[in-house]
Structure 1
Amino acid sequence: MDGARRWRLRQQAPPDFLARSPYPALVRQLLWHRGVRSEEDARRFFGQAPAEHDPLLLPEMDKAVARLRRAAREGEAVAVFGDFDVDGVTAAALLTEALSELGCRVLPYIPDRYAEGYGLNVDALRRLAAQGARLLVAADCGTTAVAEVEEALRLGMDVLVLDHHSLSPRLPQAAALVNPRRPDSRYPHAELASVGLAYKLAEALHDALGRDFPRRRYLELVALGTVADLVPLVGENRWLVAEGLRALSATSRPGLRALAEEAGLGGREVDSWAVGWVLGPRLNAAGRLAHARQALDLLLCRDEAVARDLARTLSALNRERQRLTEAALARARARVESAPLGSLVFVADAETPAGIVGLVAGRLAEEYYRPAFACERGDTLSRGSGRSIPGFDIAAALRSCSHLFLKHGGHPQAAGFTAPSDNLEAIAAALTALAERELAGADLTPCLEIDAVLPLRALRGELVAWLDRLRPHGPGNPEPVFLARGVTVADARPAGADGQHLRLKLRDGPVTWPAFGRRLGERAPQPGQRLDVVYSPVRDRDGEGALELRLHDLRPSALATT
C-alpha cells in the first residue's frame, strides 16, 4: 500500500516572522510558504489593503485606450479575436460586451481549433475585413503573430494585442501590444491572464470616456478565465478572483446560471474549485470537441431558454471529453511503460483529438513527474501540447527547436505546437535531449510538499475559520497540505463508478473526519488500521459545504506498533 511519492515537510518560517501580528502560528507558517514577507503583504493577501494597479502602467495601454476611444466615438466596426480556451473566450466575451455598450459595432470571432488552430490566421482576417472591421483586438493571442499582423495592416485594419503569453524575439507591428511580460513593462504584476488584461483595458476605456464601469459584471468573467487558465493566484490575480467569485455566486447571466444548475451547483457558493473542476471544464469542452463559439454564446446569452439548451450541450460535450480523455490516457500509459522512462515523456497518437492533448499531457506529467507532451498525429500536420514540472521551462524548450514547428508558444509550465507530422520524431529527440541535460541529477520521483504537521484532533473552529480566509486557492496559493500521523480507519469503501476513488472515516482520539481520496481506490486500507495521511481540509463538494478531508496520500503508520 506504500505510495510512490516522496513526502517532504517544508521548512519552518523564521521564529520572528509576523510574531507581533494577530495571526496564529500555523497561519504565519502558511503565509511564509506563500511568499508573504511582511505584515503589509499579509494585509493585502487577506484583502485588507488594495491590490489593484493602474491599468495605464501596462505597456502601450495608453495607445490601446486612445485607439478604442476613437472607435467608440465613431461607432467603428471592431473585430474581437479570442481563443478557444476559457481565458480566451471570457476575454472575448468581456470585450464584446464592453465595446458594444460603449458604442462600437463588435464582430466577435473565435477560431475553430481543428480547422484553424491557435491564434490569428490570414483567412479569418480577410473575412473580418470583408465584414467592415477596421480595428482588430486580439485577446489571448497575437504576441507571436508577426506575419498575421502584417496581413491585417495590409487589409486596412489596425491591430491591438492583449496577451500574456511568452514573448518571441521579434514582435508584431501592432498599434499596441499590451503584454505584462514585456521587458519594458512598469506594471507591478506580470501574471495577469488575458481576461484580466481585457478587464484592465475596459476599466481604463470607461474612465477615458467618462462612463461608469460595471466592474462586478466583468469580474465574474475575470474569475472564470483566471482560475481556468491556471495562472498564479497571487497579488492582483488573487484580489480579482476573490471579488469575481463573489460576483459569480450571485450572477445575473442566464448562461452562467443555467450552467451552474446543469452542473449541480445551483444555489451554492462558487469557489475556485467549482470553476476549475466544474464550470471551467464544461466551458472548455466546446472548444475541445466542437466549437468554442458555443461557450462564448452561453456567456453572452440573454435568453433563459437558449441558455438552458447551451448549458445542456456543453455538459454533454464534457461527458464525452471525459470518456475520450480516459481512453487516450490508457493508450498513452501503455506506450510510456513499454520502453525505459527517460527525463521527458512524449507520445503521439492518431486517435487522440487535438482538443484533449493538453489534458493528457497534464496527467502524464503528474503521474510520471516529468515534462510531458501528448500529440494528435495527423496525416500531414500534428498538434501537440506539453505540461512541465518545476525547473524545466517548456515554452523555452520549444523555442530551442523552433525550426521544427509551424507554430508554437505558451508559458514555462504549459505550451503547445503545430508541426509537420514528419518532424515528430525529431521534435521528440530534441526535447528529450534538452530535458536530459537540464534535469540531469534531479530527483524525478513525485514529491508531496507538506506545509506542517497537523493532527486531526487540532482541526477546530477558530483554526478552520483562519484556513477559510486563505481562499481562493490555485497556483501560487495552493490548498494547505498537512500531515496527520497515527489516525485510525473507522470505515473505508470504494467510490466512483469503477471504484477508483476512496471514501474513509478517520478517527483521531475523540474526533472522526470524513475523507475522500481521488484515485486511491486500489490502496484501500482495512477498518482498524492505523495510517499516516497527507490531507487538505476542504468544503464538501457533494453536500452542503461541511468540512471534509481531501487525501493526497496515505501509508501504514510508523506509530502502528507503538
Structure 2
Amino acid sequence: MIDICAGDEIRVRYPEEDASTLALTLGCSRIFASVLQMRGLGCSEKARAKHRPGLRLALEELFLGNEDPGGEGLRAALREGVRVVVYGDYDVDGVAATSLAVELCLSYGAEVRYYIPHRRLQGYGIHEEMIGRILQMGCDLLLVVDCGTRDRKILEGVVAAGVPVWVFDHHLPEGSTVRDVGAVLINPHASNGDEEGVRLCATGVLWAWLFRNALAPEEWLRERLDLVALATVADCVSLGPLNRALVFEGLERIRQGRRVGLRLLAERLGLVFQRIGEEDLAMKLIPCLNAAGRLDLADVSVRVLLGEKDTLQWVERLVELNRKRQYLSGRLVDEISTAISAEERHVLRGNEWPVGILSSVASRLCSQFRRPIALAAPAGEVLRGTLRVPGGVDAVAILRNVEEHLLEWGGHRQAAGFSVAPERWNVVEERLEYSLSEVKIQKDLLEVLAFPPQEIDMASWREVETLGPFGMGNPRPLLYAENKGVSSIRPLGGNGRHVTVEVGGVPLLGFNAAKLLAGCPNPRGWVYAPRIDHWRGQARLQFVLERIVHSGGVEHA
C-alpha cells in the first residue's frame, strides 16, 4: 500500500562507478549489476551462489537440531491400517502442514483423521478436552504440527496411554517441552538448529525432515513443495537461502496446477496460475486460505488443499469468507486507528471485536503507527489477545513479563498470542501498556537504489527477478527517482483516487495516491518498484509508486 515517508526514513544508494564494467563482464544489464552491488553480490560468484543454492545442497547442509531421532521410528509407526490423528493449527502454515501430514499418512495406507481447533472458541495449541475425545475414538499415532512444543502436561497423558506422539513445530520453547514427557519433538528452536533451520516455518520443518530422512520418495515430496511455498510466504519467515529455494521450487509446482483446489482458487481470484508469483500468494491466495480459520473453521482450507469432494464449493466459501474478512478488518482498523491517535495507546480491548481478525488488524496498525500493538476481545469465558511488534522488538520477551497473569501464551519474536481471564485483564493491560510504551523502536532506514525508470526494460527487470523469490529477509528491490520539479501528475481512472506520475517520460502508477499527493504538494522524490503485469495474454512492464518522499534530508550511502 502506498505511503508517505520523510527523507530521513530512506537511504539512497547510487550505482557504483564500475556498475557498467560489471555489467559488461557478466553480460547483464546495468540495473541488474547495480542491484547485485547494492546487495554485496556483484564481485563474488561464491556470494551469488550462496544467495541462491540448489535445493538439494541447501538441504544437505541443513541442521535441524541435536535431538533429531531419525526417521525409523515414524516409518515403523506408519503402516497400513494404523489409526492416525493429525492435530494442526488454523493459519496457513498450520493447514498446509496438516495437509502434508495427512497426505503422508495416506501414502502409507493409514487411516487418517485431522483436527484443527476453533480460533475464537478454543484458541491456539493442544486442548485437553479434544485430546480426550481423540483417545476415546481410538488413536494409534498422534502427529502434531505447528503447535505442541510447550503442551507438556496435556501430551504427557497421551504418551502415558501408550500412543506415540510426534510434534513438528517452529514456535519458541519456554522452559520444559513435550520432549521431557516422551514425545518426539522436531523443532530447530528447541534443539539448537542452525540458522537455516530456525528460519523454517512448521510446514518447512516437517517437509525438510521427511526429505532428509527419506520418509517418502523424492518426487512425491517435491510435488508437495506447493504447500511449503504457501506456508513460508504466509508466515513471513526470513527468506534465507533454503527458504528461497523452497519457495522458488514450490512456485514452480503451483504453476503446474496439479493441486486442484489451489488451481480452482487461483482461477476464481482471476489469477493465471501458470504465472503465479510470491506476491500473488501473499496478496491473493493466502488471505483467502487464512480467512477460514479467522471467521469459520480452518477445515475449509484443508478441504481445498486436499482436493476433497465438492472442492469448488469450498473454494467459493473461502472467497466469501475473505470478502467478509476484508470488510470487518477495514472497519476495525479505522475504529482502532482513531483511538490510537487520540490517546497514544498501545493496548486496546473491544468487547464486540471478532477475535479471528485481531492478528491481521494488529499487524496493519503496527506497520501504520510504527509501534507495538496489543489487541484483545472476549472469546467464550476468556479474553484472547494478539501482540504485534516492529522489527528489533521481541514479542515473546514482552509477554514473558506478564506470564504469571496469563492462561496461555506463545509465538515468535514479532508476533505472539495470549489468553487471559477477564478478572486479570486490568493488571495485564496496565503492565503491557507500560512495557510497550517503554519500547525503544529501532529506526530502520528503507534502502532504495537511485535509478531512472527509462533505463529499465522487460528483459533487464526479468534479470533482477532471478534474485527472488522476494519477501522477509530478501526484500524486493525498491528504486528512487528524485523530483526535479518537472514530474507531471495526471488522473488515472474515473474515480479520482489514482494518479500517474511521469518521471523522465515514464509513468509511475500511483494507486490510491491522489489524496496523499494533495497533502504533499512538492515531494522530494518517488520510491517505485517495477512489476511485470499480464493483460490479455501479453506481458508488460509497469512502474508502481510505493512511497512519496516529503521534506527532510535524504541519507545517501
State the TM bucket, normalised to the shorter chain: 0.7 to 0.9
Aligned to 2:530: 537
User: How big is each residue's C-alpha offset from its partner over 1:288-326, in whole Å with a ceiling of 9 and x where there is no partner?
Assistant: 0000000001111155xx121111110000000000001
Match of 1:513 in 2: 507
Structure 2 CA distance for aligned equivalents of residues 16 and 434 of structure 1? 48
Separation in structure 2 between the aligned mates of residue 254 and residue 330 of structure 1, nearest angstrom: 37
Using the TM superposition, give the Cα deviation of residue 51 of structure 1 relative to its aligned residue in structure 2, in angstroms. Answer: 4.4
Counterpart amino acid of residue 529 in structure 2: S
1:402, 1:536 → 2: CA distance?
A: 43
Aligned: 1:258 with 2:264: yes
1: CA distance, partners of 2:155 / 2:296? 27
Offset at residue 266 of structure 1 (A):
3.5
User: Contact between 2:362 and 2:375, CA under 8 Å: does it hold in 1?
Assistant: yes
- Number of aligned positions between the proteins: 542
Summarize deviations over 1:212-231 as a string: whole Å, max 9, x none: 54133210111111111111
- Cross-structure match for 1:493: 491
Letter of the 1:226 partner, please give it: T
Q: CA deviation at 1:434?
A: 2.6
Alpha-carbon shift at residue 531 of structure 1 (Å): 6.2
Which residue in 2 is equivalent to 1:554? 548
Number of the residue aligned with 1:107: 113
User: 1:475-507 CA deviation, whole Å, 9 max, x = no partner?
Assistant: 00111111101265445336798x6x5341423
Q: Is the deviation greater in 277-286 or in 414-423?
A: 414-423
Corresponding residue to 2:223 among 200, 204, 217: 217
Write the mapping of 1:381-530 to structure 2, written as runs, cut at 5 A: 381-439=382-440, 442=441, 449-486=446-483, 488-493=486-491, 502-508=498-504, 511-517=505-511, 519-524=512-517
- For 2:318, give the aligned amino acid: L
Unmatched tracts of structure 1, length 5 or more: none
Task: Verify: 1:200 aligned to 2:205, yes or no.
Answer: no
After superposition, where does 1:30-41 map in structure 2 within 5 Å?
30-31=35-36, 39-41=45-47
How far 1:145 sits from its partner (Å)? 1.0
Letter in structure 2 aligned against 1:274: D
Q: Is the 8 A contact 1:485 1:531 kept in 2?
A: yes
**Structure 2: which amino acid aligns with 1:301?**
G
TM-score after normalising by structure 1? 0.87
Aligned equivalents of 2:141, 2:277: Cα separation in 1:
36
Deviation of 1:36 after TM superposition, in Å, equals: 5.6
Aligned-pair CA distance for 1:241: 0.2
Mean Cα displacement is larger for which, 537-546 or 324-333?
Answer: 537-546
Distance 1:271 1:300 in 2: 21
Secondary structure of 1:80's partner? strand
Could you say what secondary structure the match of 1:540 adopts?
strand
The CA distance in 2 between the partners of 1:333 and 1:349, in whole Å, is 13
Residues 427-486 of structure 1 show CA distances to partners (whole Å, capped at 9, x for unaligned) of 2332333334441xx576xx6503321122222345313222122111001111111012
Paired with 2:109 and 2:283, the residues of 1 have a C-alpha distance of 36
Aligned to 2:74: 68
Deviation for aligned residue 1:184: 3.2
Secondary structure at the aligned position of 1:53 is classed as helix
Greater RCO, CA 8 A, separation 6+: 2
SS in 2 for 1:319: helix
Cα distance per residue 1:221-259 (max 9 Å; x no partner):
111111111111121000000000011011212211110
Q: What pairs with 1:322-333 in structure 2 (closer than 5 Å)?
A: 322-333=326-337
Q: CA deviation at 1:178?
A: 0.7
Taking structure 1 as reference, are residues 31 and 403 closer, same or farther at Cα in structure 2, changes over 3 Å only?
farther
- CA RMSD, aligned part only? 3.3
Structure 2 CA distance for partners of 1:315 and 1:152, relative to 1, 3 Å: same
Q: Does residue 186 of structure 2 align to residue 182 of structure 1? A: no
Q: Is the 8 A contact 2:59 2:212 kept in 1?
A: no
One-letter identity of the residue aligned with 2:205: L
Cα deviation, residue 521, structure 1:
3.7
Task: Quote the offset at 1:128 in angstroms.
Answer: 1.5
Q: Is the 8 A contact 1:93 1:299 kept in 2?
A: yes
Structure in which a larger fraction of residues adopt helix: 2
* Percentage identity across paired residues of the two chains: 28
CA distance in 2, matches of 1:104, 1:189: 29
Residue 228 (structure 1) aligned with residue 234 (structure 2): yes
Residue type of the alignment partner of 1:310 = W
Q: 1:150-165 residue pairs with structure 2 within 5 A? A: 150-165=156-171
Instruction: State whether residues 95 and 202 of structure 1, in contact with CA within 8 Å, keep that contact through their aligned partners in structure 2.
Output: no
Shift of the 374–33 alpha-carbon distance from structure 1 to 2, 3 Å rule, reads farther
Task: Choose which of 323, 328, 344 in structure 2 pairs with 1:319.
Answer: 323
Tell me whether 143-152 or 283-292 shows the greater mean CA deviation.
143-152
Q: Distance in 2 between matches of 1:420 and 1:380?
A: 8
Change (3 A) 1:125 1:443: closer
Residues 49 and 272 of structure 1: CA distance in aligned 2, closer, same or farther (over 3 Å): closer
Q: 1:492 touches 1:524 (CA, 8 Å); kept in 2?
A: no
CA shift, 1:378, in A, is 4.9
CA contact (8 A) 2:14 2:450 kept: no
- 1:118, CA displacement in angstroms? 0.7
Task: Tell me the CA shift for residue 3 of structure 1.
Answer: 3.4
Spell out, residue by residue over 1:134-192, the C-alpha distance to the aligned partner (whole angstroms, 9 max, x if none).
22111000111121211322343221111111111211234311111235335753201
Distance across 2 between alignment mates of 1:348 and 1:143: 28
Q: Is the 8 A contact 1:56 1:62 kept in 2?
A: no
After superposition, the Cα gap between the structure-2 partners of 1:545 and 1:268, relative to the gap in structure 1 and judged at 3 Å, is farther
Contact 1:486–1:557, Cα closer than 8 Å, also in 2: no
TM-score (normalizing by structure 2)? 0.88
Alpha-carbon offset, residue 58 of structure 1: 2.0
User: Contact (CA 8 Å) 2:483, 2:524: kept in 1 or not?
Assistant: yes
